[in-house]
Amino acid sequence: MMKLIGQRAIASLLSLIVLMVLVFFLSRLTGDPAALFLPIDATEEMKQQFRALNGLDRPIIEQFGLYVWDLIHLDFGESLRRARPAIDVVIEAYAWTLPLALITMTLVIVAAIVLGSIAAFNVGGLIDRGISVVSLIGASAPDFWIAIVAIVLFAINLAWLPTSGVGTPWHWIMPVAVLFIRPFGLIVQVVRGSMLQALSAPYVKTARAKGVKNRPLIFVHTLRNAMLPVITVIGDQAAALLNGAVIVETIFGFPGIGKLMIDSILQRDFNVVMAAILVTAIAIFIMNILIDIAYSVLDPRIRQ
Protein backbone atom coordinates (compact mmCIF):
# COMPACT_ATOMS: atom_id res chain seq x y z
CA MET A 1 0.00 0.00 0.00
CA MET A 2 2.90 2.37 0.76
CA LYS A 3 4.23 1.80 -2.76
CA LEU A 4 0.82 2.74 -4.18
CA ILE A 5 0.66 5.89 -2.05
CA GLY A 6 4.21 6.82 -3.08
CA GLN A 7 3.38 6.44 -6.78
CA ARG A 8 0.25 8.51 -6.34
CA ALA A 9 2.20 11.22 -4.48
CA ILE A 10 4.83 11.46 -7.24
CA ALA A 11 2.17 11.64 -9.96
CA SER A 12 0.31 14.30 -7.97
CA LEU A 13 3.48 16.36 -7.53
CA LEU A 14 4.18 16.30 -11.26
CA SER A 15 0.58 17.28 -12.01
CA LEU A 16 0.83 20.10 -9.48
CA ILE A 17 3.97 21.47 -11.16
CA VAL A 18 2.33 21.40 -14.60
CA LEU A 19 -0.80 23.06 -13.18
CA MET A 20 1.26 25.78 -11.50
CA VAL A 21 3.10 26.60 -14.74
CA LEU A 22 -0.11 26.71 -16.81
CA VAL A 23 -2.05 28.85 -14.34
CA PHE A 24 0.81 31.30 -13.87
CA PHE A 25 1.26 32.03 -17.58
CA LEU A 26 -2.42 31.85 -18.54
CA SER A 27 -3.44 34.22 -15.74
CA ARG A 28 -1.08 36.85 -17.17
CA LEU A 29 -3.04 36.73 -20.43
CA THR A 30 -6.11 38.24 -18.73
CA GLY A 31 -4.62 41.74 -18.91
CA ASP A 32 -2.68 44.36 -17.03
CA PRO A 33 -3.71 44.82 -13.36
CA ALA A 34 -2.67 48.47 -13.56
CA ALA A 35 -5.65 49.14 -15.83
CA LEU A 36 -8.01 47.95 -13.07
CA PHE A 37 -6.33 49.19 -9.90
CA LEU A 38 -5.47 52.72 -11.05
CA PRO A 39 -7.89 55.53 -12.03
CA ILE A 40 -8.96 55.86 -15.63
CA ASP A 41 -6.94 59.06 -16.01
CA ALA A 42 -3.75 57.52 -14.58
CA THR A 43 -0.65 58.46 -16.52
CA GLU A 44 1.73 55.95 -18.07
CA GLU A 45 4.30 56.91 -15.45
CA MET A 46 1.86 56.00 -12.66
CA LYS A 47 1.18 52.65 -14.33
CA GLN A 48 4.91 51.94 -14.61
CA GLN A 49 5.36 52.74 -10.91
CA PHE A 50 2.49 50.36 -10.04
CA ARG A 51 4.02 47.57 -12.14
CA ALA A 52 7.46 48.12 -10.62
CA LEU A 53 6.04 48.12 -7.10
CA ASN A 54 4.37 44.74 -7.68
CA GLY A 55 7.14 43.17 -9.76
CA LEU A 56 5.05 43.21 -12.94
CA ASP A 57 7.58 45.20 -14.97
CA ARG A 58 10.05 42.33 -15.17
CA PRO A 59 10.13 39.70 -17.96
CA ILE A 60 7.51 37.05 -17.35
CA ILE A 61 10.11 34.27 -17.08
CA GLU A 62 11.84 36.23 -14.31
CA GLN A 63 8.48 36.78 -12.60
CA PHE A 64 7.85 33.05 -12.68
CA GLY A 65 11.29 32.28 -11.26
CA LEU A 66 10.76 34.73 -8.39
CA TYR A 67 7.31 33.27 -7.71
CA VAL A 68 8.69 29.72 -7.54
CA TRP A 69 11.47 30.88 -5.22
CA ASP A 70 8.94 32.53 -2.90
CA LEU A 71 6.68 29.47 -3.11
CA ILE A 72 9.53 27.21 -2.00
CA HIS A 73 9.70 29.39 1.11
CA LEU A 74 5.88 29.07 1.51
CA ASP A 75 5.33 32.68 0.47
CA PHE A 76 2.28 32.92 -1.80
CA GLY A 77 2.64 36.67 -2.25
CA GLU A 78 0.34 39.57 -1.46
CA SER A 79 -3.19 40.14 -2.69
CA LEU A 80 -3.25 43.22 -4.92
CA ARG A 81 -6.89 43.91 -4.10
CA ARG A 82 -6.78 43.32 -0.35
CA ALA A 83 -3.15 44.20 0.51
CA ARG A 84 -2.90 41.02 2.60
CA PRO A 85 -1.10 37.69 2.23
CA ALA A 86 -2.84 35.74 -0.53
CA ILE A 87 -2.80 32.52 1.49
CA ASP A 88 -4.74 34.21 4.33
CA VAL A 89 -7.45 35.26 1.88
CA VAL A 90 -7.69 31.70 0.52
CA ILE A 91 -7.86 30.12 3.98
CA GLU A 92 -10.70 32.46 4.96
CA ALA A 93 -12.62 31.42 1.86
CA TYR A 94 -12.04 27.74 2.59
CA ALA A 95 -13.43 28.28 6.06
CA TRP A 96 -16.79 28.71 4.30
CA THR A 97 -16.40 26.18 1.49
CA LEU A 98 -15.30 23.24 3.67
CA PRO A 99 -18.40 23.25 5.93
CA LEU A 100 -20.62 23.67 2.87
CA ALA A 101 -18.96 20.70 1.13
CA LEU A 102 -18.93 18.58 4.30
CA ILE A 103 -22.62 19.13 5.06
CA THR A 104 -23.63 18.52 1.46
CA MET A 105 -21.56 15.36 0.95
CA THR A 106 -22.65 13.87 4.28
CA LEU A 107 -26.30 14.26 3.29
CA VAL A 108 -25.58 12.99 -0.24
CA ILE A 109 -23.70 9.86 0.87
CA VAL A 110 -26.27 8.81 3.44
CA ALA A 111 -29.28 9.45 1.20
CA ALA A 112 -27.70 7.95 -1.94
CA ILE A 113 -26.52 4.73 -0.28
CA VAL A 114 -29.84 4.14 1.48
CA LEU A 115 -32.07 4.93 -1.51
CA GLY A 116 -29.75 3.24 -4.01
CA SER A 117 -29.80 0.06 -1.92
CA ILE A 118 -33.58 0.19 -1.57
CA ALA A 119 -33.94 0.64 -5.35
CA ALA A 120 -31.66 -2.33 -6.02
CA PHE A 121 -33.59 -4.56 -3.64
CA ASN A 122 -36.88 -3.58 -5.28
CA VAL A 123 -35.59 -3.67 -8.88
CA GLY A 124 -38.33 -3.23 -11.43
CA GLY A 125 -40.86 -2.16 -8.82
CA LEU A 126 -42.58 1.16 -8.28
CA ILE A 127 -40.06 2.29 -5.65
CA ASP A 128 -37.15 1.48 -7.93
CA ARG A 129 -38.70 3.38 -10.82
CA GLY A 130 -39.48 6.41 -8.66
CA ILE A 131 -35.95 6.60 -7.24
CA SER A 132 -34.41 6.07 -10.68
CA VAL A 133 -36.47 8.85 -12.27
CA VAL A 134 -35.68 11.32 -9.49
CA SER A 135 -31.97 10.49 -9.57
CA LEU A 136 -31.75 10.77 -13.36
CA ILE A 137 -33.43 14.17 -13.28
CA GLY A 138 -31.07 15.29 -10.52
CA ALA A 139 -27.98 14.08 -12.38
CA SER A 140 -29.08 15.80 -15.59
CA ALA A 141 -30.27 19.17 -14.30
CA PRO A 142 -27.64 21.96 -14.53
CA ASP A 143 -26.68 23.57 -11.22
CA PHE A 144 -27.07 27.16 -12.41
CA TRP A 145 -30.61 26.52 -13.64
CA ILE A 146 -31.64 24.85 -10.37
CA ALA A 147 -30.09 27.72 -8.39
CA ILE A 148 -31.95 30.38 -10.39
CA VAL A 149 -35.26 28.50 -10.16
CA ALA A 150 -34.75 28.06 -6.41
CA ILE A 151 -34.16 31.80 -5.94
CA VAL A 152 -37.20 32.75 -8.01
CA LEU A 153 -39.46 30.23 -6.27
CA PHE A 154 -38.33 30.19 -2.64
CA ALA A 155 -36.79 33.65 -2.23
CA ILE A 156 -38.81 35.90 -4.53
CA ASN A 157 -42.26 34.32 -4.98
CA LEU A 158 -42.67 32.60 -1.62
CA ALA A 159 -40.22 34.78 0.36
CA TRP A 160 -39.25 31.80 2.52
CA LEU A 161 -35.48 32.00 2.17
CA PRO A 162 -32.88 34.76 1.66
CA THR A 163 -31.34 35.10 -1.79
CA SER A 164 -27.70 35.32 -0.71
CA GLY A 165 -25.29 35.63 2.19
CA VAL A 166 -24.34 33.41 5.13
CA GLY A 167 -25.74 35.26 8.14
CA THR A 168 -28.15 32.60 9.42
CA PRO A 169 -28.82 28.85 8.91
CA TRP A 170 -31.58 29.86 6.50
CA HIS A 171 -28.92 31.27 4.16
CA TRP A 172 -27.33 27.81 3.85
CA ILE A 173 -30.47 25.90 2.85
CA MET A 174 -30.58 26.76 -0.86
CA PRO A 175 -26.82 26.39 -1.54
CA VAL A 176 -26.75 23.01 0.22
CA ALA A 177 -29.94 21.86 -1.53
CA VAL A 178 -28.72 22.90 -4.99
CA LEU A 179 -25.30 21.31 -4.49
CA PHE A 180 -26.99 18.17 -3.15
CA ILE A 181 -29.03 17.37 -6.27
CA ARG A 182 -26.41 16.48 -8.91
CA PRO A 183 -24.05 14.29 -6.81
CA PHE A 184 -27.07 12.60 -5.24
CA GLY A 185 -28.44 11.67 -8.65
CA LEU A 186 -25.11 10.33 -9.87
CA ILE A 187 -24.23 8.36 -6.73
CA VAL A 188 -27.71 6.79 -6.45
CA GLN A 189 -27.34 5.39 -9.95
CA VAL A 190 -23.90 3.98 -9.20
CA VAL A 191 -25.04 2.49 -5.86
CA ARG A 192 -28.06 0.88 -7.52
CA GLY A 193 -26.02 -0.61 -10.36
CA SER A 194 -23.24 -1.83 -8.10
CA MET A 195 -25.70 -3.31 -5.63
CA LEU A 196 -27.57 -5.13 -8.42
CA GLN A 197 -24.30 -6.67 -9.57
CA ALA A 198 -23.37 -7.66 -6.03
CA LEU A 199 -26.83 -9.11 -5.31
CA SER A 200 -26.47 -11.43 -8.30
CA ALA A 201 -23.19 -12.86 -6.97
CA PRO A 202 -23.20 -16.56 -5.91
CA TYR A 203 -22.35 -15.85 -2.27
CA VAL A 204 -25.41 -13.59 -1.94
CA LYS A 205 -27.65 -16.22 -3.50
CA THR A 206 -26.23 -18.74 -1.02
CA ALA A 207 -26.91 -16.38 1.89
CA ARG A 208 -30.47 -15.88 0.72
CA ALA A 209 -30.94 -19.64 0.42
CA LYS A 210 -29.78 -19.99 4.03
CA GLY A 211 -32.50 -17.56 5.12
CA VAL A 212 -30.39 -14.46 5.85
CA LYS A 213 -32.69 -11.49 6.44
CA ASN A 214 -32.75 -8.54 4.06
CA ARG A 215 -31.03 -5.99 6.29
CA PRO A 216 -27.86 -7.98 7.03
CA LEU A 217 -27.90 -9.18 3.44
CA ILE A 218 -27.61 -5.59 2.25
CA PHE A 219 -25.23 -4.12 4.79
CA VAL A 220 -23.02 -7.12 5.55
CA HIS A 221 -22.88 -9.39 2.51
CA THR A 222 -23.44 -6.93 -0.30
CA LEU A 223 -22.76 -3.30 0.46
CA ARG A 224 -19.06 -3.65 1.24
CA ASN A 225 -18.37 -5.42 -2.03
CA ALA A 226 -20.45 -2.87 -3.92
CA MET A 227 -18.61 0.14 -2.50
CA LEU A 228 -15.50 0.23 -4.73
CA PRO A 229 -17.12 1.99 -7.73
CA VAL A 230 -19.23 4.06 -5.33
CA ILE A 231 -16.12 5.39 -3.58
CA THR A 232 -14.71 6.53 -6.93
CA VAL A 233 -17.81 8.57 -7.72
CA ILE A 234 -18.01 9.94 -4.16
CA GLY A 235 -14.40 11.08 -4.46
CA ASP A 236 -15.03 12.78 -7.80
CA GLN A 237 -18.11 14.58 -6.50
CA ALA A 238 -16.39 15.61 -3.27
CA ALA A 239 -13.51 17.02 -5.31
CA ALA A 240 -15.99 19.00 -7.40
CA LEU A 241 -17.49 20.50 -4.24
CA LEU A 242 -14.06 21.15 -2.77
CA ASN A 243 -13.16 22.92 -5.97
CA GLY A 244 -15.57 25.56 -4.85
CA ALA A 245 -18.89 24.90 -6.58
CA VAL A 246 -18.01 28.05 -8.51
CA ILE A 247 -21.37 28.70 -10.16
CA VAL A 248 -23.50 28.03 -7.08
CA GLU A 249 -21.31 30.10 -4.78
CA THR A 250 -21.37 32.99 -7.23
CA ILE A 251 -25.15 32.89 -7.70
CA PHE A 252 -25.86 32.77 -3.97
CA GLY A 253 -23.11 35.23 -3.01
CA PHE A 254 -21.54 32.56 -0.81
CA PRO A 255 -18.04 33.74 0.25
CA GLY A 256 -16.27 30.45 -0.52
CA ILE A 257 -13.28 29.50 -2.62
CA GLY A 258 -15.28 29.29 -5.86
CA LYS A 259 -16.53 32.86 -5.63
CA LEU A 260 -13.07 34.00 -4.58
CA MET A 261 -11.55 32.45 -7.71
CA ILE A 262 -14.05 34.17 -10.00
CA ASP A 263 -13.62 37.54 -8.27
CA SER A 264 -9.83 37.28 -8.29
CA ILE A 265 -9.71 36.39 -11.99
CA LEU A 266 -11.92 39.35 -12.86
CA GLN A 267 -9.82 41.61 -10.62
CA ARG A 268 -6.54 40.20 -12.03
CA ASP A 269 -5.41 39.46 -8.49
CA PHE A 270 -2.83 36.95 -9.71
CA ASN A 271 -1.39 35.86 -6.38
CA VAL A 272 -4.81 35.00 -4.96
CA VAL A 273 -5.72 33.06 -8.12
CA MET A 274 -2.50 31.06 -7.87
CA ALA A 275 -2.87 30.42 -4.13
CA ALA A 276 -6.52 29.35 -4.49
CA ILE A 277 -5.82 26.92 -7.32
CA LEU A 278 -2.68 25.44 -5.74
CA VAL A 279 -4.31 24.91 -2.34
CA THR A 280 -7.36 23.37 -4.02
CA ALA A 281 -5.18 21.07 -6.12
CA ILE A 282 -3.23 19.93 -3.05
CA ALA A 283 -6.49 19.23 -1.20
CA ILE A 284 -7.79 17.18 -4.13
CA PHE A 285 -4.54 15.20 -4.36
CA ILE A 286 -4.74 14.40 -0.65
CA MET A 287 -8.35 13.31 -1.13
CA ASN A 288 -7.30 10.97 -3.95
CA ILE A 289 -4.69 9.37 -1.69
CA LEU A 290 -7.34 8.87 1.01
CA ILE A 291 -9.57 7.22 -1.61
CA ASP A 292 -6.72 4.86 -2.50
CA ILE A 293 -6.37 3.97 1.18
CA ALA A 294 -10.12 3.31 1.40
CA TYR A 295 -9.80 1.07 -1.66
CA SER A 296 -7.06 -0.96 0.00
CA VAL A 297 -9.18 -1.37 3.14
CA LEU A 298 -12.20 -2.62 1.17
CA ASP A 299 -10.21 -4.75 -1.29
CA PRO A 300 -7.08 -6.41 0.18
CA ARG A 301 -5.91 -7.36 -3.32
CA ILE A 302 -4.94 -3.71 -3.90
CA ARG A 303 -2.42 -3.84 -1.04
CA GLN A 304 -0.35 -6.46 -2.82
Q: What is the pLDDT of residues 212-230, one digit of tens each?
A: 666 666 666 677 777 778 8
In a domain? residue 304: no
Q: What is the pTM of this model?
A: 0.81
Residue type, 72: I
Does residue 79 sit within a domain?
no
pLDDT in tens, 251-281: 888 888 888 888 888 888 888 988 988 888 8
Which pLDDT band holds residue 298 (cuts at 50, 70, 90)?
low
Residue 264: its pLDDT value, please?
A: 87
Tell me the backbone φ, ψ of residue 122, rounded to 5 degrees. -120, 40
Q: Is the pLDDT of residue 96 over 80?
A: yes
Do 28 and 108 lie in one domain? The reply is no
Between 51 and 115, residue with greater pLDDT: 115
Q: Is position 81 within any domain?
A: no
Number of structural domains found in the chain? 2
Distances (CA, A) of 103 to 125, 137, 180, 196, 236: 31, 22, 9, 28, 16
Sequence-distant (6+) residues with CB within 8 A of 98 are: 242
Question: What are the tens digits of pLDDT across the range 138-153?
Answer: 888 888 888 899 999 9
Predicted confidence band at 107 (pLDDT cuts at 50, 70, 90)? very high
Are residues 276 and 142 both part of a single domain?
yes
Structural domain contains residue 50: yes
For residues 132 and 22, membership in a common domain is answered with no
Domain boundary among 72, 95, 125: 72
Asked if 45 and 104 sit in the same domain, the reply is no
Indicate the average pLDDT of the chain: 83
Does 231 reside within a domain? yes
Which one of 72, 99, 116 terminates a domain? 72
**Mean pLDDT (whole number) for 177-197:** 90
The whole-angstrom distance between residue 253's C-alpha and the CA centroid of its chain comes to 17
Q: Do 134 and 260 belong together in one domain?
A: yes
Residue 77 forms part of a structural domain: no
Give the CA distances from residue 185 to residues 111, 127, 131, in Å, rounded to whole numbers and listed in that order. 10, 15, 9
Residues 202 and 236 in one domain: yes
- Give the CATH number for residue 119: 1.10.3720.10
Does residue 42 share a domain with residue 10?
yes
pLDDT for the residue 1: 60
**Same domain flag for 97 and 41:** no
Closest by CA to 30, choosing from 267, 277, 244, is 267
Q: What is the pLDDT of residue 220?
A: 65
Domain that holds residue 65: 2-72
Give the best-scoring range by mean pLDDT among 42-46, 51-55, 154-158, 212-216.
154-158
Q: State how far the Cα of 99 lies from the Cα of 156, in Å rounded to an integer.
A: 26
Q: Are residues 113 and 62 in the same domain?
A: no
Does residue 78 sit within a domain?
no
Q: What is the per-residue pLDDT for 300?
A: 60
Crossing angle of helices 169-199/126-140, nearest 10°? 130
> Do residue 99 and residue 210 come from a single domain?
yes
Same domain, 50 and 98: no
Same domain, residue pair 189 and 155: yes
> What is the rounded average pLDDT of the residues 179-186?
91
